[in-house]
Amino acid sequence: MKYEIKKAEKGYILIINREDGTRNDYRFKNKAELNRWMKLAGIKQGGLEQWQC
């Protein structure tokens, strides 16, 4: 699974690409909301970069 976080005009977008070819986009109003969601999902964040889990 790979994911990337992009800064949008009104918040952040988390894009998750899975090995089977599916893609999910999640939109968040602020970085705190994004961090809470990622913590609950068990995804580690190291900055606004692309990561592979």
**pLDDT of 44 over the 80 cut:** no
Distance of CA 13 to the CA centre of its chain: 6
d(CA 40, CA 26): 14
39 falls in which pLDDT band (50, 70, 90)? confident
Identify the pLDDT of residue 53: 46
More confident residue, 53 or 26: 26
**pLDDT of 27 over the 50 cut:** yes
Identify the pLDDT of residue 12: 96
42 falls in which pLDDT band (50, 70, 90)? confident
